[in-house]
Amino acid sequence: MTIKIFKNWRLLSAVLLIAVVVNMRIISAATEEVTNKYAYNPEKPVAFEDTIIAYHTNVNEIFNENINTLINTNPEDLNLDYDADCKDKNGNPNISTFCVAKKVVDEYVEFAEGIQTYSDTDLGDSMTLAIVSQVLFERGTMIDLEKEAAFNAMDQTLAVYNELQVMYPLHQQYGVLIETLESYNNALAKWRTSISQWPSEFIDATTNKCS
């Protein structure tokens, strides 16, 4: 089992983010329409707050799925190797931090692009130019803050996931060590009990020392 540790998560996330964005731009140029589940849809409008909740729920599910796999899979069967394509190995999904990062960065990019479509929705026809400008500014600020908060949450959660990936096997080994020490302590206690039943002095012995 190989564990890859990435120390600079902001750099890793940024690199992945740029790569994914460029890839998405190429795909968008080659297709007429791209469906974004976080984009505002006037036919089925969803509140901005509900879209944010949906994003965080989806990211949470990604992490939970991989954490469950990490905890409930035999350590020898875990697929934690670095693989740019994040392929399964012997039927086991790749749950390395790199591959989990790719998934959540994909989700973040779609979210960041999707909520941008909320910037000019439902402005109404009776607003003056000044009011429209103020509303657009406030919405733009709110969207930017939400993007930043989502990115920071993703960055920090990836760091925690990596720590879990490193420390959980050590925790398991520590648990085995504790069980071994407890077994040894129990055996030692039984041995002491047996020894205590032996006579402390031997009858007719001429000395109390071993020659």
Please indicate, yes or no, if residue 202 is contained in any of the structural domains. Answer: no
Please indicate, yes or no, if residue 18 is contained in any of the structural domains. Answer: yes
Pick from 142, 143, 125, 123: which is nearest to 133 by CA? 123
Please indicate, yes or no, if residue 204 is contained in any of the structural domains. Answer: no
Please indicate, yes or no, if residue 208 is contained in any of the structural domains. Answer: no
Please indicate, yes or no, if residue 211 is contained in any of the structural domains. Answer: no
Per-residue pLDDT at 81: 86
Up-side HSE of residue 61: CA atoms within 13 Å toward CB?
7
> Lowest mean pLDDT: which of 62-66, 94-98, 132-136, 146-150?
132-136
Q: What percent of the chain has pLDDT over 90?
A: 21
Per-residue pLDDT at 29: 43
Please indicate, yes or no, if residue 143 is contained in any of the structural domains. Answer: yes
Q: What number is the average pLDDT over the span 105-118? A: 91
Give the model's confidence band at 32: pLDDT under 50 very low, under 70 low, under 90 confident, else very high: very low
**Cβ-based neighbours of 38, under 8 Å, separated by 6 or more:** 51, 54, 55, 110, 111, 113, 114, 115
**Cβ-based neighbours of 2, under 8 Å, separated by 6 or more:** 80, 81, 82
Per-residue pLDDT at 118: 86
**Rounded CA gap, 165 and 157, in Å?**
12
Per-residue pLDDT at 90: 86
Domain count, the chain: 1
Structure tokens at 5: 């540790």
**Rounded CA gap, 148 and 198, in Å?**
74
Give this prediction's pTM. Answer: 0.64
| More confident of the two residues 10 and 193 | 193
Residue environment code for 130-164, b if the CB has 16+ CB neighbours within 10 A, otherwise e: eeeeebeeebeeebeebbeebbeebbebbbebbeb
Please indicate, yes or no, if residue 38 is contained in any of the structural domains. Answer: yes
Up-side HSE of residue 155: CA atoms within 13 Å toward CB?
17
Q: What number is the average pLDDT over the span 75-88? A: 86
Per-residue pLDDT at 18: 52
Phi then psi dihedrals of residue 59, to 5 deg: -65, -40
Q: What number is the average pLDDT over the span 201-210? A: 59
Express each pLDDT in 43-59 by its tens digit. Answer: 888 888 899 999 999 99
Q: Can you state the angle between helices 97-115 and 48-72, rounded to 10 degrees?
A: 170
Q: Is the pLDDT of residue 15 over 70?
A: no
Structure tokens at 210: 């071993």
Please indicate, yes or no, if residue 210 is contained in any of the structural domains. Answer: no
Structural domain that includes position 66: 9-195
